[in-house]
């Protein structure tokens, strides 16, 4: 049985607090979406003009996971931003969190599909 879902605002706040406290990356809330059930995008910026965008999804088992929205390899920052803008047009409740990790080592706790 899947774990109960937290409201997105609580989940995002805990995520930001933990990442900014326990890791060597900087995490910033770029856009706040629907507090109860908004989806989340993670933009992982390598600070060299490239980035990867991960899109939040739910597995068949009801667990949180991430999909590579911009592909397996980092893309130009402008391509990552264009992807985010397209997703925002589709989903006005979308949250966007930007992670700065120069080495691109950042990986979320949930699986990346």
Does 28 map to a domain? yes
| Number of domains making up the chain | 1
Does 110 map to a domain? no
Indicate whether this model's pTM tops 0.75: yes
Write down the pLDDT at residue 1. 41
Write the CATH number for 21.
3.40.1530.20
Write down the pLDDT at residue 58. 86
Does 2 map to a domain? no
Does 107 map to a domain? no
Q: What is the DSSP letter of 61?
A: T
Per-residue pLDDT of the chain in tens (113 residues, 90 and over written 9):
445 577 899 989 988 988 888 677 889 999 999 998 889 999 999 999 999 999 988 889 888 899 999 999 999 999 999 999 999 999 999 999 999 988 877 778 888 88
CB 68 within 8 A of CB 42: no
Domain that holds residue 29: 8-100
Does 36 map to a domain? yes
Closest by Cα among 105, 99, 110, 90 to 3: 110
């Amino acid at each position: 049985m899947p774990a109960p879902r937290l409201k997105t605002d609580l989940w995002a706040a805990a995520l930001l607090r933990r990442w900014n406290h326990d890791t060597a990356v900087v995490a910033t809330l770029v856009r706040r979406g629907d507090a109860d059930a908004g989806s989340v995008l993670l933009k992982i910026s390598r600070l060299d003009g490239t980035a990867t965008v991960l899109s939040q999804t739910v597995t068949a088992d009801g667990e949180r996971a991430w999909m590579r929205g911009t592909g397996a390899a980092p893309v130009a920052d402008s391509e990552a931003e264009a992807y985010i803008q397209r997703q925002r047009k589709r989903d006005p409740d979308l949250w966007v969190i930007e992670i700065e990790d120069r080495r691109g080592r950042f990986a979320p706790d949930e699986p990346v599909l």
